[in-house]
Amino acid sequence: MQSIYQYKPISLVEPSINLTQWLQNRFTEAEQGLWLTVEEIFPTKQLTFRTANIQRANVQRAKKIQLGDFKIAITLDLELIDDKEIRILLGLYPVESQTKLPKSMTAILIDSNQETLVEIST
């Protein structure tokens, strides 16, 4: 017998985050409680981020999210390229007892104008 799972879109709308402040190591109290260091979310795993130049400002944060029966982590890796450009890497990872991400999952990072900055899917 095969079971079929259908998932409804879930919108995790949060207050805006000023990513430029993150690159200056300035986090609001709410951000500090929700967006942890990657090491706090994955204490025993070594995640590899694709960054080209370690001399650039770089910030990595992760956040756990419960989606129905699934626990996942969203990761943000920010790299300051120059005064006008920030490279954003968005990641999705299973956490705790989860070993796989749900099928057909999409994460979209939007800016204050509702324009898509980054979109990833499983």
Instruction: Please report the pLDDT score of residue 62 as a whole number.
Output: 92
pLDDT at 57: 55
Assigned domain for 74 exists: yes
Q: What letter represents residue 65's amino acid?
A: I
In-domain check, residue 29: yes
Number of structural domains in the chain: 1
Given a contact cutoff of 8 angstroms between Cβ atoms, the answer to whether 40 and 59 are in contact is no
Whole-angstrom distance, CA of residue 83 vs CA of residue 45? 33
Residue range(s) defining the domain that contains residue 96: 19-121
How far apart CA 72 and CA 111 sit, in angstroms, is 22
The sheet that has 36-37: what strands, in order across it?
36-37, 58-67, 70-82, 85-94
Q: Which two tokens mark 87?
A: 């490279």
Is residue 93 in some structural domain?
yes
Decide if 30 is inside a domain: yes
- Residue 14: inside a domain: no
Query: pTM above the 0.85 mark?
Result: no
Residue at 4 is within a domain: no
- pLDDT of the chain, 122 residues: tens digit per residue: 333 344 455 566 666 788 888 888 888 888 888 899 888 988 876 555 544 444 455 888 999 988 888 888 988 899 888 888 888 888 889 988 888 888 888 888 888 788 888 888 88
